[in-house]
Amino acid sequence: MDRIVNGIARGVFVFLYIPIVAVIVYSFNAAGTNTRFDGLTLQWYVELFQDASLMQTLRTSALVAVITATVATIIGIMFALGLARYRGRGRGALMALIALPLIVPEIVLGVALLSVFSTTKVPLGILTLVLGHLIVSLPLATLVLMSSAAMLDPSLPEAATDLGCTPWQTFTRVYFPLLRPAVVAAWLLSFTTSFSNIVMSTFLSGVGSTTLPLKIYSSLKTGLTPSINALGALLILLTLVIVLLVGVSQMRRILVESRT
Amino acid sequence: MTTQTTSAAADTTAPTTAPAVEIQGLSKEFAGHLAVHPLDLEIRENEFFSILGPSGCGKTTLMRMITGFETPSSGRVRLGGVDVTDVPTRNRDLNMLFQSYALFPHLTVFENVAFELRVRRVAKAEANRRTTEALELVKLGHLGDRKPDQLSGGQRQRVALARAVVSGPKVVLLDEPLGALDQQLRKEMQYELKRMQREVGITFIYVTHDQEEALTMSDRIAVMSEGVVQQVAGPEDIYNRPETRFVAGFIGSCNLLDVQAPAGAEGEEVAVEVPGVGALRGVLGETVPTPRAGTLLLRPERIEVRRAGEGDGVVGVAETLTFLGEEWHLHLRVGEHLLRASVSSLVKERDLPGLAAGDRLSLSWRPQDARIVVR
């Protein structure tokens, strides 16, 4: 029995990681097609950085994702701190409203937003992308922050007030340091949600504000160039660096705390 | 020598008659329910003042109105003569010791204690000196670098206390601070708290439901029930001269007999008729203008128990005898009433050898030990 489970576990891991390994390997493939392997080259990385339109979409995606993540995290902190203390009527309804966009199919939200923007004559572009991505990443950020805020002793802010803190000082000296891991997690989660989004972007991007996933998706029709593999490999590397940075800082904190 | 030091210190840190906190007509209403009825209270400088009552009696709400966490529905709060009713908590010269201690988990012990001084921008050298002093006071000078989660319950309690007194506030409010500690530690901390309060000379307002804590530590106690202050007095007066039926029943153990109180002045000796028992002697605990329903209060240890026939008094039959080490608790059937009496082990061995359930006993007491109140 154990051997069967063991075998399945290995199979799952192979299935999960083979595409990632394949992307990295083929990004160095001299053949120019994913069906043969003709030796190593850095040609696709050079082509990638020379592809101005692809780099433009990368910049758009990064900009939208940074704005979305930052705004979602700030609003999420407010929601989380408010709801952690608020025990009155309508709390359940408010929580449900926050989580609702997670349940409603994204394509419905996309269509709905598009009609809102066209009737209000808001031009499609960075702004509409950010607003659309906010709808899908805000619930995630809020939920991550809320689970952290709910664990805080409700006496802590009162103690801070009692010891002379203004509301802003209570935030900077007590809430923020205690919520920092959740803030980082919420920001990264919102960032990836926005960065990899296709459905909302399909409806909300305008001329000149095509996002990277849209560009890659549309290049399916013309045939994927190996530069996409190079881009994929670079994104994997970036993700890995972020995970390691966050992971290492977390590890260091755990080590420091256990030292004494 | 020792006595001299104590009295010298007492000159500056003993309770005075100057009011530290004055409360006038203060009340709090929650959704149509009066949690605290309008009340007046005066807490003196350097006093160890307890607010004692069962949970839900309004003591926590009263305390939170003094700190400013709750806005009163009516009334004023004065701190050192200054009206602070509309002053936000952070600008009130008082600190609170929370039931959960509320230590900041991301800061070290030293940073926790120094927190207020840093927020209030006290110069660094001065802040460090005072923080060190406060940590010395609670005997934790060596643990300044620890995080709160590396401390025991008793140590956290001390850190919280050091943090509350470090800025030298006029008043420190303590919300059931010993609730989370085990029995042994509670006893130690009761003594320690009292010692530190004397040492720093700060008014302590101690909120608790534990009557023993209140009796052993307080200079004065306010007993609260259902949002009303029942009595404010020193521990001995609260125990020996309770003014209401609630106070008598809540503090220690007390026999409560329904009687018809005759009219008379406070302290007047009267006899009251108790159905099925007969006429009992007692004194009026307060001035009664016209006869009305009241309660006769009689502490179990104030009842003298002898063999029936050895003296005059009410005759009762022993129903149960319980041995508690230093004393015996007796349940005595008197007519339709069951009275509790306690007899010290010495007295029982000497005067009541071979006492057993079913024995007929004579019960007597001094009139002044049976108080009749109408509230």
Q: Where are the domains of chain A?
A: 1-41+225-260, 53-223
CB distance B315 to B278 below 8 Å: no
Closest CA in chain A for residue B95 = A162
A254–chain B Cβ distance below 8 A for any pair:
no
pLDDT band at B368 (very low <50, low <70, confident <90, very high): confident
Closest CA in chain A for residue B149 = A257
A89-118 per-position pLDDT tens digit: 788 888 888 888 888 898 999 999 999 998
> How far apart are alpha carbons B151 and B103 in whole angstroms?
11
The Cα diameter of chain B in Å comes to 78
Chain A residues within an 8 Å CB radius of B90: 161-166
> How far apart are alpha carbons B159 and B150 in whole angstroms?
12
Contact B102 A156 (CB under 8 A): yes
Q: What pLDDT is attached to residue A154?
A: 87
Confidence check: pLDDT of A36 > 80: no
Measured in angstroms, the CA of B165 and the nearest CA of chain A are apart by 10
Domain ranges (residues) in chain B: 2-240, 253-373
What is the average pLDDT across B15-26? Answer: 84
If we measure between CA atoms, which residue out of B10, B30, B2 comes closest to residue B227? B30
Chain B residues within an 8 Å CB radius of A162: 67, 89-90, 94-96
Chain A / chain B CB contacts < 8 angstroms? 56
Query: Is residue A39 left, alpha or beta, with left meaning phi > 0 and alpha meaning psi from -120 to 50?
Result: left
Work out the percent of chain A whose per-residue pLDDT is above 90: 25
Q: What pLDDT is attached to residue B74?
A: 92
Give the closest of A163, A173, A178 to B95, CB-based: A163
DSSP states of B139-200 as a string? T-GGGTTS-GGGS-HHHHHHHHHHHHHTT--SEEEEESTTTTS-HHHHHHHHHHHHHHHHHH
Residue B92 backbone phi and psi in degrees, to 5: -90, 140
Lowest mean pLDDT among B62-76, B163-177, B308-322: B308-322
Give the closest of B90, B150, B163 to A161, CB-based: B90
Which of the residues B70, B91, B92, B96 would you substitute to probe the A interface, choosing the one with the greatest number of A C-beta atoms within 10 Å?
B96
> How far apart are alpha carbons B85 and B23 in whole angstroms?
10
- Altogether, the residues listed in chain A come to a count of 260
Work out the percent of chain B whose per-residue pLDDT is above 70: 95
A180-204 per-position pLDDT tens digit: 888 988 898 899 889 888 888 888 8
What is the average pLDDT across B262-270? Answer: 83
Q: What pLDDT is attached to residue B67?
A: 93
Q: What pLDDT is attached to residue B118?
A: 92
Contact A164 B90 (CB under 8 A): yes
A167–chain B Cβ distance below 8 A for any pair:
no
Confidence check: pLDDT of B5 > 70: no
> How far apart are alpha carbons B180 and B275 in whole angstroms?
45
Q: What mean pLDDT value characterizes chain A?
A: 85
If we measure between CA atoms, which residue out of B191, B193, B299 comes closest to residue B241? B299
* Class of CATH domain B2-240: alpha beta
Q: What pLDDT is attached to residue A65?
A: 93
Which of the residues B119, B157, B176 would you substitute to probe the A interface, choosing the one with the greatest number of A C-beta atoms within 10 Å?
B119
Structure tokens at A209: 């504000």
CATH code for B253-373? 2.40.50.140
What is the average pLDDT across A31-50? Answer: 79
Q: What pLDDT is attached to residue A250?
A: 66
CB distance A101 to A136 below 8 Å: yes
What is each CA distance from B133 to B12, B114, B193, in whole angstroms?
A: 19, 11, 16
CATH code for A53-223? 1.10.3720.10
CA geometry: angle A113, A187, A243, nearest 5 deg: 130
Confidence check: pLDDT of A17 > 50: yes
Can you count the helices (H) and strands (E) in chain A? 12, 0
Q: What pLDDT is attached to residue A253?
A: 61
> How far apart are alpha carbons B51 and A211 in whole angstroms?
65
Give this complex's ipTM: 0.79
> How far apart are alpha carbons A74 and A79 in whole angstroms?
9
